[in-house]
Structure formats: structure tokens, C-alpha cells
Amino acid sequence: MSVKIDIRNVRKEFRIRDTREPFTALAGTDLDVREGEFLTLVGPSGCGKSTLLDLIGGLTEPSGGEILIDGMPVSGPGLDRGVVFQQYALFPWRTARANVEFGLEAKGVPRAERAERARHHLDLVGLGGFEERYPHELSGGMRQRVAIARSLAFDPDVLLMDEPFAALDAQPRESLQEELLRIWEKTGKTVVFITHGIDEAVYLGQRVAVMTSRPGRIKEIVEVDFDTREGDLRAAPAFGEYRHHVWTLLRDEVAAAREQERKVAVGHG
């Protein structure tokens, strides 16, 4: 299987006001994301997950190392990568359709094609019939569906998702997880999905990459392979085993992260 995103020894430092020492968020992160795979990324809060996703998205530049997509260094944001964040980031004065069309307008896609692509992608995320609703007329889950439709409308190869379902209640979250898997199977996109939910990571990911506490590196990659996706997967024994394995890996890192926070708080960080 070919490598889609090649993250090589990536380092990210931030300059913090009033301090001489740079703050190291990522130190020597290595990760290969395979073409067409669904990779989930978990790690303790503050370990550098969002920092890594922003780097893949080209929203920021690494302080060291490099990120290649299809063998080419990332040099900025691009339409080959769609990003979905936790916040809905929809324009409140635009309908669902007009929100999806927004980027297509900027790209100069003709009106009829824009409308067709918006309709198609809203349909794909299960929002057929809701095209003319405004964000305030939609539930949180539906708004996040619009955001996903908007990023899919560009037909990016890669979907980068930073805790996109974290603000949702359990029921809409689970139905969005199922929808996303269905879309992924249908479109063959490469997905990198950050979550702090172990269940979500195991349910969605073909592989779960577990990060260490800050400075984040990849601690272990867990291959998740279910015999079947039929029925209530979360209740299956295999699901529990994967879940426990990821939980064990995370537990030590969360403890380390707590200790770090404590040191920072007393001025030894």
C-alpha cells in the first residue's frame, strides 16, 4: 500500500512571550499515513495532536523535519486537503447550500455546477432536503454535517478532522461516525481523525496512532481489524480488547502529561 502522507522527524516549537526558551510541542514525530486509510490519532490533552494536524494542513510550518504528500513537501494549505474542526465555522447568514458553495465560488466554479455539487454533497452527508436551512435552523450534528459536506465538495484526497464530533451528544455522534465511515468507504479518501475518545478511535480507525505526552511523538500504532462490522460492534469482545489496549497505552501518557502540567504550574516546566 502506498504512503500518502509521510511525516518525517517533525519538530514544532512555539515562541512564547517573555520566555527565552522555545516551547517544544512536537519533537521528532514520524508517521506514515497510507493512501486511502482511515487513521485515528489519540493522545493526552496538549500532546500536540492539533499542532500535527495543522502542519499536515499546511496552516503552519514545521521547525524541523518535513511532511510530504504524494512525495511532495507541504508548502501551505491546498485543495487536496480538507479540514474539519470541532467548531462548526459555518457562515450564519448563508444557507446550508450556500455554505457548501462558498469555497466553490472562490474557486470560480460556475453557478449551476456549484449548486449541483452542493446538492450532491449535502445528500451524501444525509442532509438532502435541508439545503435551504440556515445554520441556526439546524441541530449541532446537522451543522457538522454541513461542514463535512463543505470540505468534501472540493473533492480533496485527504480529510483532516480535529475532534469534529467532540461537541455532539452521544446519539448524533454515533450516527455521524457511521455516516463518515460510509462516506469514506464510498469515496476512498485518506482520513486523519483526531479524537480524545478511545471508543471513537477504535470504532473509526483502521489504525489507531497513540501519541506520547508533550513533546508528542507516536508511541504505538494499533492495527484494528474486525472480522465483521455487522451488528453492535462496540459490544463485541474484540472491540473491548482493542479499547483496553489503547486505554493502557494512553494511561501512562496521561499520567506523564499531568506531572508536566504540575511542573509548569510551579515554574519548572
For residue 193, list its beta bridge partners.
Answer: 40, 161
Cα separation, 56 vs 176, whole angstroms: 24
Nearer of residues 49 and 81 to Mg ion, judged by Cβ: 49
The residues of the shown chain that bind ligand ADP, judged by CB under 6 A, are 14, 16, 23, 25, 43, 45-51, 214
52 SS3 class: helix
Any idea what the Cα angle at residue 237 is, between residues 206 and 184, rounded to 5°? 25
Per partner kind, with CB cut-offs from 5 to 8 A, the member of ligand ADP, Mg ion, none near residue 87 is none
Dihedral, CA atoms, 1, 151, 139, 124, nearest 10 degrees? -60
Nearer of residues 23 and 247 to ligand ADP, judged by Cβ: 23
Nearer of residues 47 and 84 to ligand ADP, judged by Cβ: 47
Among 9, 24, 50, 187, binds Mg ion (CB under 5 A): 50
Per partner kind, with CB cut-offs from 5 to 8 A, the member of Mg ion, ligand ADP, none near residue 25 is ligand ADP
- Rounded to a whole number of angstroms, the minimum distance from the CB of residue 266 to ligand ADP is 16
For residue 8, list its beta bridge partners.
Answer: 66
Per partner kind, with CB cut-offs from 5 to 8 A, the member of Mg ion, ligand ADP, none near residue 81 is none
Place of cell 476512498: 188
Nearer of residues 17 and 136 to ligand ADP, judged by Cβ: 17
Nearer of residues 49 and 150 to ligand ADP, judged by Cβ: 49
Find the residue with minimal CB distance to Mg ion: 50
Per partner kind, with CB cut-offs from 5 to 8 A, the member of Mg ion, ligand ADP, none near residue 156 is none
**Three-class DSSP labels, 68-108:** EECCEECCCCCCCEEEECCCCCCCCCCCHHHHHHHHHHHCC
- Rounded to a whole number of angstroms, the minimum distance from the CB of residue 67 to ligand ADP is 15
- Rounded to a whole number of angstroms, the minimum distance from the CB of residue 5 to ligand ADP is 17
Which amino acid, one-letter code, is at 136? H
**38, 182 in Cβ contact below 8 A?**
no
